[in-house]
Amino acid sequence: MPRAVYVLALGIFAMVSSEFLVAGLMPQLAAGLGVTIPQVGYLITAFAAAMALGGPILTVLLLRVRPKTALMVLFALFLAGNALAAVSGGYPAMLVARVLTGMAAQALFGVSISLTAQLTRPEVRGRAVSVVLNGLMLGTLLGLPLATVTGERFGWRAAFWAVSVLAVLAALATAAGVPGTDRFTEGGTLRQELAVFRRPRLWLVLSTSTFVIGATFSAFSYFNPILTRVTGFEAGAVPLLLVAYGAASVVGNAVVGRLADRRPLAVLLCGLSLNAMFLAGFALLAHLALPAVVCLLGIGLVGVTLNPAMVTRVQRAGNARPLVNTVHNSFITLGIIIGSSVGGLVISAFGLRATLWFGVVLALTGLVTLVPDLAVTTEAAAREP
């Protein structure tokens, strides 16, 4: 595996540490900004909306720029937004900061995954993507809990500054460790880049990713208040539980990475089914500590960890170039928008457990989107002698 793949994972680690920071600091941000928990949840929604809408625009602007240069531009934009979050004096400034960092993070995901495809052989791209996406899993395992602890001990502003330092280190590593490859020229003009989106199956495949991530984030966005207010854990225990959740994600990502190249559809079918089961179990048993933790770990194993299979399936339905990968990430972040925003609405109306039931609905809907491909696969298998 090229060394640059691991360097790209470090960049994603920095981005994810910032993305998930709000989820880990919900009570502190609510108090510091003078807003409610659902309003803090909408900061997650704003970040995701910026990723979904602004990320592809940035990617289009950078299509003819060398990948390494594009990464450095995106790091600079991310640092500007994260610094604004650290010094923000109120909710509006924080909202702007999350929009800036969301746009940069989305485009960086797309460029990094496409560069990974450019640097590796087709038969190992699923594994390579899982290595890059280990940055996402480690962001959950280490970045989020460490930022949460920093915020609890030194204030939420210190947590944003800590992530800024991490981003600087990732940018320096990228400058030193990522080769200066050619531009992504094989895609041709913007019209040619957009032509792939005329394929109906690609849109269905993209929608699966929305429901996978939406189901997970309907729970993940509100882990902190659920664990403290429903399960009854002390606030100091939440970072440890998030470490356990992140460890489960790292394990799940490694397993999915091994299987993604060969059977992405089967992986998604199994993962979504298990995720629906764990979400339902969490909703029913959130008041009991041990079952709640078991379900939380289960969501970690089969939630965001399905990313390598999702990426492999999308690249086969479309292509491996930056625009397709960035639009795919937009569909992923649309799931974050749905999970966090609708989750906040159902919490306001029905209580904290309601967002877990909403996640079950999203996971089951995701299974429905797999039916056409399953039918084709079954028919092809039946034709074999």
Q: DSSP string spanning 295-337?
A: HHHHHHHHSGGGHHHHHHHHHHHS-SSHHHHHHHHHHHHHHHH
Q: Which tokens sit at 15?
A: 């981005």
Secondary structure E strands in the chain: none
Report d(CA 346, CA 325) in Å as an integer. 31
In this structure, is the dihedral angle defined by the CA atoms of residues 111, 113, 114 and 116, taken in order, positive or negative? positive
DSSP label at 142?
A: I
- Torsion-angle region of 42 (φ positive above 0: left; ψ -120 to 50: alpha; else: beta): alpha
> Which pLDDT score is estimated for 185?
46
Give the Å distances, CA to CA, from 342 to 13, 73, 179, 356: 27, 33, 42, 11
Report d(CA 188, CA 157) in Å as an integer. 44
Task: Domain count for the chain, please give it.
Answer: 1
Query: Residue-wise pLDDT tens for the chain (385 aa)?
Result: 667 788 888 888 888 888 777 877 877 888 888 888 778 878 877 887 887 788 888 887 887 788 888 899 999 999 999 999 988 888 999 999 999 998 898 888 888 887 887 777 766 667 777 778 777 777 766 766 676 777 778 888 888 998 899 899 999 998 888 876 655 545 556 676 788 888 999 999 999 999 999 999 999 889 989 999 999 999 888 878 988 888 898 899 888 888 887 889 999 999 999 999 999 999 999 999 999 999 999 999 999 899 889 988 998 888 777 788 888 888 987 888 899 889 989 998 999 999 999 999 999 999 999 999 888 776 555 565 5
**Of residues 367, 365, 368, 340, the one with CA closest to residue 355:** 340
DSSP label at 120?
A: S
> Which pLDDT score is estimated for 329?
82
Residue entry with tokens 């979904």: 52
List b or e across 367-381, with b for residues whose CB sees 16 or more CB atoms inside 10 angstroms. Answer: bebbeebeeeeeeee
In a domain, 186, yes or no: no
In a domain, 350, yes or no: yes
> Which pLDDT score is estimated for 300?
93
Contact (Cβ atoms closer than 8 angstroms) between residue 339 and residue 362: yes
What is the domain extent for residue 293?
3-180+191-383
CATH number at residue 285: 1.20.1250.20
In a domain, 185, yes or no: no
In a domain, 60, yes or no: yes
**Of residues 185, 139, 178, 171, the one with CA closest to residue 23:** 139
Q: Which tokens sit at 154?
A: 């030194």
Report d(CA 75, CA 93) in Å as an integer. 20
